[in-house]
Amino acid sequence: MHTYKDYLIEIEERKAQGLQPKPIDGQELLSDIISQIKDINNQYREDSLNFFIYNVLPGTTSAASVKSKFLKEIILGESKVDEITTEFAFELLSHMKGGPSITVLLDLVLLGKDIEIAKQAAEVLKTQVFLYEADIERLEDAYKKGCPISKELLESYAQAEFFTKLPEVEEEIEVVTYIAGVGDISTDLLSPGADAHSRSDRELHGQCIFEHNKDMQNELLALKEKHPDKRVMLVAEKGTMGVGSSRMSGVNNVALWTGVESSPYVPFINIAPVIAGTNGISPIFLTTVGVTGGIGIDLQNWVKQKDAEGNTIVDKDGEPVLKQMYSVETGTVLTINTKEKKLYSNNVALKDISTALTPQKMEFIKAGGSYAVVFGKKLQTIACKILGIDIPQVYATSKEISIEGQGLTAVEKIFNKNAVGNTPGKKLHAGSDVRVEVNIVGSQDTTGLMTSQELEMMAANVVSPIVDAGYQSGCHTASVWDDKSKANIPRLMKFMNDFGLITARDPKGNYHAMTDVIHKVLNDITIDDWAIIIGGDSHTRMSKGVAFGADSGTVALALATGEATMPIPQSVKVTFKGDMRSFMDFRDVVHATQQQMLKQFKGENVFQGRIIEVHLGTLTADQAFTFTDWTAEMKAKASICISEDDTLIESLEVARDRIQIMIEKGMDNEKQMLQGLIDKANARITELKTGIKPALTPDADAKYYAEVVIDLDEIAEPMIADPDVNNNDVSKRYTHDTIRPLSFYGGTKKVDLGFVGSCMVHKGDMKILAQMLKNIEAQHGKVEFKAPLVVAPPTYNIVDELKAEGDWEVLQKYSGFEFDDNAPKGLARTKYENLLYLERPGCNLCMGNQEKAEPGDTVMATSTRLFQGRVVKDSGEKKGESLLSSTPVVVLSTILGRTPTMQEYEKAVDGIVLTKFKPSQKQLVG
């Protein structure tokens, strides 16, 4: 869109969809609009004024630059617009969130000759927090030259008046409940994967909430109309809210429908949603709620019943018996008391909600989101340094927990190493609030456009020098290169490339487009076991360092500042004993871990919201990632893999060599970001080989929330995560907690489609697939599929390695379709034949945003998601179900068209080494 006439055409098209004009972010269109404003007799002048005032995106968009300059002209009297006074022009600048608006305000303060205008500009600047190095340098230079207004500004920043002068949080917030679902609620309900293409168009994307369920949307609107003075609180009854991913677009949608307007001059950006769940909010989704200054409440309105001895009472099926402590049925009016930190109903206190209203979270609410607090603290620190004064205590004191005589867990060690701003020399334990420097940041392609918008909103234009590497993937849109992808992805890649990230696609087209799964790339470019990684996806869970899945905004914040802020999480230690049977896959160990943990703790998920410190010892990073990746489904906040020195060296050497391949493909940037990683990898390998700095381990006297010992002897057959779609208790469906042995299905359950792919598989899985096909042909004389098998390798590196080792040739022999990068698919496949499909590296079916199985199918998959509608939708006759298992089970299920028996399974994997995992014989402690 470049001209006003184009905009009018688009406005009519959007009107037909029930949408308002799209917010303006381009300079050419806004320049047209300004020309029409200046022309008193222009027929479009009135509309142009409204568009200029109310419909321009702020920050560093090119439109924001044009708007700022025009407002400067008005303030200086160089342009006259009767409807925009000097005072109103300053007000508009105050809502533009940095970037060019800050430049204009500083110009008016430092370069202008009119002292009154300079004072007005200074008053606006005192309210701003999104100032960067170049802005501060201008102020500091003026201060050193004796400019009194610059001194006044720095003193205001030192006192954090941009925060202290904001209105206090309301003491009482009245809410009315709306139950969005019973059981765990996936973020897919709030922002479906199939609508990923529209996430950056907030109004359009808002139409997809509740998976386009108009009845639910109308119920929500009716509730708002009935209670205009209250906020709607979205509830997951008998479940956890926001499982599956961080998904900023999900929070944005909830805020759009139930939240508070961020600014009258910025359309469709709402903040402060109120979200709740019987079992609270998924950890990474809760972080996203904080980004918007929202409130996330752990209701605990249903509790497990205990007998006289304190044991959980179970029903005939062995499930805990729950008792309702209080009702939150749709339409229930409740009061959140932010002072007492309690939830009330008719003046009766129902629940202490202090964890939802900690001092830090109250600051997020007051400031309208966590960004303003993070940037505010940084600005205050810099101003005090320039003035040579101590930092006044304005923000809530960070909680620092230090327990004398107690050692550190692995995550505590990493946070202590990377912490900034805490008491020097103080050893911090779990529960401490810590600001940490981030080493690696990853952005994926279906949230990347939102991340780029967030970067524009916070006026950032280059990746922080603190960050070792940033990567922008193309994996979530790998399956189908359709018109939506062609419109969105090149624009995203150019933005991120210009910002300083390594990008999967080269905007200049100099290297082959890479659609590698982001988590696999991040796992390869993490070259330090002490690293902190932030990534725009819940499966950002590396087997080196500690990685946190995050919303698009937190990713933007990490890219812009090189920092993240969070409490040090508690840890649960997982170790192993016994021996694996030869026919078991490591994926079975992963599922058994979840099953045995729930059994050991009588149904309590001790992993939820905590770090899983898994002592894998001898398993290299590629294979170990299968465990750390699945910890998202265990509802853990993150995971850490404890390795032996030799194993870590091997993992780092593989990572280094793969980074070198990226360099040889031409993917490094001007700052040689990838070469810097190789240098760091070599340095870390040297430390390990010389013993200067061994692999990360916890202290022997570290304390854990719980310790889980997994008995490998108990794993006698393949383990399958079942969505249990027909469970009479709705809350027990689609939870990832129903883990069943293969024999449960008796070799009779029909399988309609198999999928080997996603971040859960590695090169070894592809080799297992090739060997199984050869085995089956040797046993039966041919390979015949009775159900389709979709195969999507995670990365191009793996494809290249398979080709070099002869395995890709085997897969080609049995395939009926092979991806062609020179002619990628332009349409999503809707029907499948009984053959093997070799798909382009990437997420494929696991993502659910481009291709799905046929409605009503029973899918056997290696992927991570079994949520309703994610991989397969329901049909009119049957619920779609996605069962999750190991590669051998998936492959054999498609050959047979049903689940195999144990005898069939053992025969098919005979002679194949599925995993070399054995419990470490060393004490992996410091």
pLDDT band with cut points at 50, 70 and 90 for residue 784: very high
**Angle 451-418-441 from CA coordinates, rounded to 5°:** 20
Mean pLDDT of 286-293: 91
CA–CA dist 64, 87 (Å, integer):
19
Containing 73, the helix (H) or strand (E) segment is: helix 62-75
pLDDT tops 80 at residue 734 = yes
Alpha helices (runs of H) in 283-422, residue ranges in sequence order: 283-291, 359-367, 370-387, 410-418
**Residue bearing tokens 């439109």:** 63
Residues 768 and 873 sit within 8 Å (Cβ to Cβ): no
CA–CA dist 282, 278 (Å, integer):
11
Residue type, 733: R
Least confident range of 29-33, 293-297, 620-624: 620-624
CA–CA dist 412, 53 (Å, integer):
49
Look up residue 5 and give its two tokens: 């006439």
Q: Tens digits of per-residue pLDDT, 170-204?
A: 999 999 999 999 999 989 899 988 888 888 899 99
Mean pLDDT of 606-624: 94
Mean pLDDT of 549-578: 92
**What single DSSP character describes residue 319?**
P
- Residue scoring higher pLDDT (758 or 794): 794
Burial class (CB in 10 A: 0-12, 13-18, 19+), 678: buried
Mean pLDDT of 159-175: 97
The pTM score is 0.85
Sign of dihedral through CA atoms 70, 75, 77, 80? positive
CA–CA dist 39, 19 (Å, integer):
28
Q: In the prediction, which pLDDT does 832 show?
A: 95
Pairing of strands 706-711, 638-643: unpaired
CA–CA dist 468, 674 (Å, integer):
9
Residues 574 and 710 sit within 8 Å (Cβ to Cβ): yes
* Cβ neighbours of residue 206 closer than 8 Å, sequence gap 6 or more: 252, 253, 256, 257, 268
CA–CA dist 644, 652 (Å, integer):
12
- The number of residues making up the chain comes to 926
Look up residue 737 and give its two tokens: 């907690």
**Angle 303-306-307 from CA coordinates, rounded to 5°:** 160
CA–CA dist 45, 325 (Å, integer):
59
State percent of the chain over pLDDT 70: 100
Residue type, 336: I
Question: If DSSP codes are grouped into helix, strand and coil, which group holds residue 123?
Answer: helix
Pairing of strands 342-345, 348-352: antiparallel
Look up residue 584 and give its two tokens: 């078991």
Containing 612, the helix (H) or strand (E) segment is: strand 611-617
Q: Tens digits of per-residue pLDDT, 501-522?
A: 999 999 999 999 999 999 999 9
CA–CA dist 331, 475 (Å, integer):
41
CA–CA dist 640, 469 (Å, integer):
20
Question: If DSSP codes are grouped into helix, strand and coil, which group holds residue 376?
Answer: helix
Containing 269, the helix (H) or strand (E) segment is: strand 266-271
Residues 642 and 545 sit within 8 Å (Cβ to Cβ): no
